[in-house]
Structure 1
Amino acid sequence: MNWKALVVAVTLVVSAVGTPVAAAATTNAASGQSSAQAQSGTYVSFETADSAVVDYTVNGKTVVDRLSVQSTSEAKSQTGGELGLSGDAGFSGAGLSLASSFDASTSATIQSESGAELVAHDNDRGIVVVKANGESHVARFNSSDGSEAEQASEKRAVITSDDGATATVIVVGDGNVTVSDGGNVTAMAEENSRVVYRQYEGERNDSEKQQERMIANGTAVAEVYVQAAGDAASDADADDSDDSDSTPTATDSPTEDSSEEAKERSADVVRYSEDTTVEVTENAAGTFNATVERSQSEGKVVIMSVSEAAFENAEDAEVYVDGEAAAEASSYSEVQSATNDGETSKYLVRSSSSAQASTDVVVGINHFSAREVSMQSGGDGGGAISGGQPGFGAGVAVIALVGAALLARRQA
């Protein structure tokens, strides 16, 4: 027998078999590396790694270092039904993939293999909205080292980090939140519900706590963050990539202000209600216009967080609904009363605990379906009807011009 020939033959066979195995291992490793995608916006940065969003950072602070989502049925099978209590072990989120990024929008959309959708918003509060999309889901928020979590109500939990930053997890619709022995927060959302994450630079003030309650009970259906590049280190483009599939959206409109700051002004729109849409039609230094539309007639609240760098004298803002001046309220209860088919819409101005200087303008719209909402700077001598055109869109501009003509005739 020719032993040398046999050895050579065996060597060739082993080499031939081993090569594709090694190649497959290399391919799998490369695939595993590419599954982790980093996102960095003006305010928010994070990574998607296989089955979780990790190191979620807002304004340089991390309160939650891991966010994972799984269908309720699968999560219960993994943990033996002990969701959110002492049985944190065993929970494994579904696979995630990045559908859209901060490169083209003020929001990044992440799809879960379980059918849920996560939308991270690049705004000062780093809001994340988890949409259940027709099947009951569980969202798990793992607190960062040194953070502590406590339950504020059946639908809200608060996480506080050792550097003073805080975050709130809110269930909108049917569901609840629980805090585990390890300090992690589990939110269970039914088929048509959503889970909301909001982060703050420090302790939440009373106004922000009230806003959280309104989000949880469905009174507040959307937020708009009016921002400028001057608020943070980088700019943010507010073109919306999610409006077509009814996810929280971000929209930006060009302005006539020629300053560099105005060119980078944006409006990030966060939607908490499936049947609510917000379209921003003007976003200038002293004028902000948007169309708010709902399929149901009952009144609701829209919250506008306004940066001083993006909007002049927001604390003295004047608010118009369909070209008519809304009444300024003195409390949240007045704003909520206006939504119960009140005689007029009302708004409330409150300071924000934002990392940047900003003001919250909370608007209670008395009824729907489509309403044109305008906010004008109060620092221009009260000339809200002339020049800035209160209201959004061409239709409201005509109403405003007619109103101005009538006013001039009466004064003549």
Structure 2
Amino acid sequence: MTRTVAVVLAVLVTTATLPVAAVGGVVGTSQTVESDAMTNGQADAYAGTHVAFDTASNAIVDYRVGGQSVFENVTVESQRDHHSQTGIGADVGLSAVTNLSGIGLEIAAQTETRAEIATEGSASLAAHDTERGILTVDAGEEAQYVQLNLSEDSTAEVSDEGDRVTVDSGDRTGVLLVAGDGEVAVTDNGDVTADLERESTLVFRSYADDEHDDDAVEQERLIADGTATAEVYAAEADGDRVADVATYGQDIAVEAQRNGEDRLEMVVKRAQHEGTIVIVSVSEAALEAADSADDLAVTVDGEAAVEADSYSDLEGGIGEEPRYMVTHSSEASAAADVLVAVDHFSEREVAIQGDTEDDADGSESDSVPGFGVAAAISALLAVVGARIR
């Protein structure tokens, strides 16, 4: 059986913790609430299913993923202020940038899947409660330095690719990279410092050791070179379905529209004409409803995308034709990633629907694997539309 999945612009969708939705089920939305830190101006903490951390007045403290401490603290300071305070010029080597004073920060808002951290400058941070433990630092309108002091159990080294830093934290492997202009380096004392130019983002992603394979490295490359600019994911929190998004770029807007019980459409807008790559991560539980991950198919604007047999072939779809490829998350897992090249913009229509042949037979089992019927995901994608900027 072929089931059709239509996907959106520059988005990584991670459904690693989203079970198969029951027929007629409803995906709950993620409510944003103001934190005590915003109300009382006090230090605060965040404790999610996968990610937890504390905050001081000028730093994130003890950032943990899967119970494993990764960073002792994360500090941000504008490059202008740092140069002014230290007298060090802008031409100093990045590995020598240490002992940042930091700028004031506080947890501004929380959802079931994210904590947003505001600062007194243009920078902002977000911690995403997914199995990948995503942490982003957005420079905003000013260039920033970011200092990441490692925990006692963590070590860092520049990756073979040269533009990323790998953080080993016992049974997890993390990767730090810059989406946009900037660089990340290991300091002389073994910690990590990043240089972010304006409107650039530092991205941290964490993996169980067997998950950081060649395909994960390719996904990191797509983020680092600006080909993938956001990571949308779905999860389960306290029995409810929730969704959220981590952004790695600018100039993205998504509007979700429901067009019937077995079809959900979205309009994706981008001022840039250039196309991009979409990476959809489908959980092992989701694939239990399908005969094989290879049965998944992709449509953009109602037209079937062409299956690519390599990453270079996939990227060749940008500017040419929509293409996709399916990879498996790891040898130990049945989960799969579906990577899609959307050829161009400014506005494209995408849809998620069940198998039309089964629809004609009135089958109730014709939903997309792992997503359930469209009625069960309409709220999920409405949240995606609201959260992507």
Structure 2 partner of 1:358: 335
Shift of the 176–169 alpha-carbon distance from structure 1 to 2, 3 Å rule, reads: same
Superposed CA offset, 1:95-149 (max 9, x none): 10111113xx522211111220112112221212211111101111111113221
Indicate the residue corresponding to 1:318 in structure 2: 297
State the SS of the aligned residue for 2:229. Answer: strand
3-state SS of 1:352 partner: strand
Gaps of 5+ in 1: 1-29, 236-259, 398-412
User: In the TM superposition, what whole-angstrom CA distance separates every residue of 1:185-238 from its partner, at most 9, and x where no partner exists?
Assistant: 1111111211111111215110010111111111112222233x2xxxx43xxx
Counterpart of 1:345 (choices 317, 322, 342) is 322
Find the residue that maps to 1:186 and give its secondary structure: strand
CA distance in 1, matches of 2:140, 2:325: 33
Give the Cα–Cα distance (whole angstroms) in 2 for the partners of residues 39 and 189 of structure 1: 25
Q: 1:46 — aligned with what?
A: 53
Q: 1:123 to 1:383 in 2, by over 3 A?
A: farther
TM-fit CA distance, 1:53: 0.9
CA distance in 2, matches of 1:66, 1:355: 32
Q: Residue in 1 aligned with 2:285?
A: 309
Q: Residue type matched to 2:163 in 1?
A: K
Amino acid at match of 2:100: F
Indicate the residue corresponding to 1:144 in structure 2: 151
Matched, 1:266 2:274: no
Hey, what's the Cα distance between the residues in 2 that align with 1:361 and 1:368? 20
Judging changes above 3 Å, is the alpha-carbon distance between structure 1 residues 338 and 113 closer, same or farther for their aligned structure 2 residues?
A: same
Larger Rg: 1
- Separation in 2, partners of 1:47, 1:144: 14
CA contact (8 A) 2:301 2:348 kept: yes
* 2:348 aligned partner: 371
- Is contact 2:179–2:203 with CA below 8 Å preserved after alignment? yes
Q: Where does residue 166 of structure 2 map in the other structure? A: 158
Residues in 2 aligned to 1:319 and 1:93: alpha-carbon distance in whole angstroms: 45
Query: What corresponds to 1:294 in structure 2?
Result: 270
Instruction: Please give the alpha-carbon distance, in whole angstroms, between the structure 2 residues aligned to 1:291 and 1:221.
Output: 17
The 2-side partners of 1:57 and 1:384 are apart by 45
* Seq. identity, %: 41
1:187-206 residue pairs with structure 2 within 5 A? 187-202=194-209, 204-206=212-214
Q: 2:95 aligns with which of 85, 89, 99?
A: 85
Secondary structure of 2:316 counterpart: helix
| 2:110 alignment counterpart | 101
Residues 85 and 120 (structure 1 numbering): CA distance in 2 closer, same or farther, change over 3 Å?
A: same
Name the residue aligned to 2:234.
226
Displacement after TM superposition at 1:318 (Å) = 1.9
1:210 corresponds to 2:247: no
CA separation in 2, counterparts of 1:221 and 1:159? 22
Structure number with higher strand proportion: 2
Pairing partner for 1:177 from 167, 184, 196: 184
Between structures 1 and 2, the one with greater helix share? 1
Matched with 1:116 is 123
Q: Which has the higher contact order (CA 8 A, sep 6+)?
A: 2
Q: Are the structure 2 counterparts of residues 309 and 171 from structure 1 closer, same or farther at C-alpha, using a change threshold of 3 Å?
A: same
What is the RMSD of the two structures over their aligned residues, measured on CA atoms? 3.5
Change (3 A) 1:131 1:47: same
